Amino acid sequence: PRRAPSAPVHEVHEAPAAPRTRAAISHAPAHRAAADVFVHRQALSTAPVRAVAVAHEKSNAVGTVELSCTAAGLLIQFVRISSYTEGYVPYPATSSERITVPYEQVARVDVDGDGLVHLTLDPSCTPYHRMVLAGLARDPAFDHVASHRRRARIERNVTLAALVVWVPVALLLRAVLPDLSAAIVMGMAASTGLVLHLTRRDIASKLVLFNRDTELVRDELIGELRYRLAPGRVRSTLGASEVPAPEAAPAELGEPQEADVGSLRGLFATAGVVAVVAAVAILIGKNLLFSSPPDPEAMWGEARNEQEEPRPAADPLASAGPVIAADPTPVIPPPPPCSCDRADSPLWSDGVPRMSVLAHNRPGPTSVERPSMYPEIAVVNNSAEDLKDIVMVVDFLLGPRDGRKARVVDKQDLFWEGRLGPGRAVKWRVRGRGDDYAVTSFVSGMIGQEAKPAPADEFYKLSMTANTPSVRLHGTKMLAYLGDERVVEGLEKLRQEGREEMADTIEQIAAASRPLRVCSVQSNLDPADKGRLIVKACVYNASPVQVPRPWVTATAKLVESATDARWSLPEDLPSKTGLITMGTVPIPTAEDEADPKSTIVQVAAER
């Protein structure tokens, strides 16, 4: 049987949100022409490109994917893919699934010096959000299995070539250098075959995954992504010139062309080149080792003639001292990019639950002999799904007295019948005997792992119209968690109320809602100096303008002692861009000899 709702029950009142304005769009002819070209370009889709997601330290997926640029975003079809971690590939695999990733959720596309394409997506799109791609081709039958078979066939052919290449190399050495012993000839020939055998995997990878056709397809895809993504999200460390973005065309699949990778002509040519290089090296070595030494008398005669020749007078300025050559200026590589969905903060260091319980004690009549509590308990649905039939228990506790231990002296059940919508809140006012109380909730789960957050508009309503101060504070906190710009209005309203018990939380919300976000903070002991910590963090510019070389402040706290350090980024930080920064901070000295590993490090960034 259902229990009747606890009385009294109050629903937090909310007023409708104020309408938001939109920026007007110019309809001038020049703007319309540019917009027509852009829309026509974006409306077309490119031909699908097959790629092999290889195992790499920066990837979390392996298998075969198919990429295509469409008007809605980057279309990714997982032909067959599995999650990957260092050392093993778990099973099962994902097959024949297709997702469309909006271009604003494509975080980074990098081409490293080896020709690998590093594709980084927003983790909310797919669990396979970090892929390292190779072997890009327009062959619809190409996948990681076919790639493995082709490379295995080439490796087998290279091994066979290495077994027989020593014969022509030995014959060539014997013909060119008849004075060499048979042992040296056989050693040189065997070394040539061994070098060819050791490079078999590199040769196979070059012919299958990094041939000329795959490079052209890769450059076309990178050019198309460079055109569609925001500036700075596509980077390439290759020395080759950038390929301009091709004109998008409807996706058409032609006849697949089988790569000529099984022929041994290229392999024998490589073996011949190695043999020629070895022969040249042997000839040079023979000339250096077996050539007759020069006549000592002739050398001394030439030296005496040089000493007898008159020398020009030395310039006193030129001979005043040795010439000191300036050291070359070291090239400092740019810091790696990064991204922050939100700043690190103690407010959500342990995560955000699906339902938050907010409780505080109201004033009421009480005494030392018979203490009483008057808690006001509110709950907020932080998830995007309704919560049905909420049940909670309030235990009223009495501390140890008269030789008795702390115990539960009163209990009250709370029940909300029905559905509590996303971002909605309800509260109870109860009373009980005791000097403390504890609230037990039966709603479990966390935001981000098991549920999506409620819309920011609902939390904005709570921050503006909720009757309970703690609920208004919670709504403002969730606006900061979601990165909503309206958090400034909630903070201003809370500061105007002037509640001292909320001052610390308000300052934490203000720090977490700054345009310069700091996340992924890591600290480790400096191996070179045990008295310092190496601090690593991501600084992300969430503002719409570029910030010139932001300053980073790291504060280390140990017990009641604190130290700080300050440094700046090596370059300006464009809008919607993040960079990894590193620095050191001294470890605070504690009187009770606390463990340095328990030091808490907080990092903030400012203009």
In this predicted structure, what is the pLDDT of residue 2?
46
| pLDDT at residue 303 tops 80 | no
In this predicted structure, what is the pLDDT of residue 174?
81
Number of neighbours of residue 271 by Cβ within 10 angstroms: 23
Cβ neighbourhood burial of 561 (10 Å; 0-12, 13-18, 19+): middle
In this predicted structure, what is the pLDDT of residue 459?
95
In this predicted structure, what is the pLDDT of residue 33?
43
Q: What's the mean pLDDT when you consider all of the chain?
A: 79
The predicted model gives 420-446 an average pLDDT of: 92
Cis amide prior to 312 (ω within 30 degrees)? no
516-606 CATH:
2.60.40.10
For residue 553, list its beta bridge partners: 566, 604
| pLDDT at residue 192 tops 70 | yes
In this predicted structure, what is the pLDDT of residue 201?
86
The predicted model gives 437-466 an average pLDDT of: 92
In this predicted structure, what is the pLDDT of residue 28?
43
| pLDDT at residue 254 tops 80 | no
**pLDDT digits 0-9 by tens, 477-514:** 999 999 999 999 999 999 998 888 899 999 999 999 99
| pLDDT at residue 140 tops 70 | yes
| pLDDT at residue 340 tops 60 | yes
In this predicted structure, what is the pLDDT of residue 273?
63
Q: Indicate the fold that domain 346-512 takes in CATH.
A: Immunoglobulin-like (2.60.40)
Alpha helices in 69-118 (DSSP H): none
Name the percent of the chain lying above pLDDT 70: 75
| pLDDT at residue 119 tops 60 | yes
Axis crossing angle, helix 456-465 with helix 469-482, rounded to the nearest 10 = 150
In this predicted structure, what is the pLDDT of residue 92?
59
Buried b (16+ CB within 10 A) or exposed e, 512-544: bbbbbbbbbeebeebeeeeebbbbbbbbbbbbe
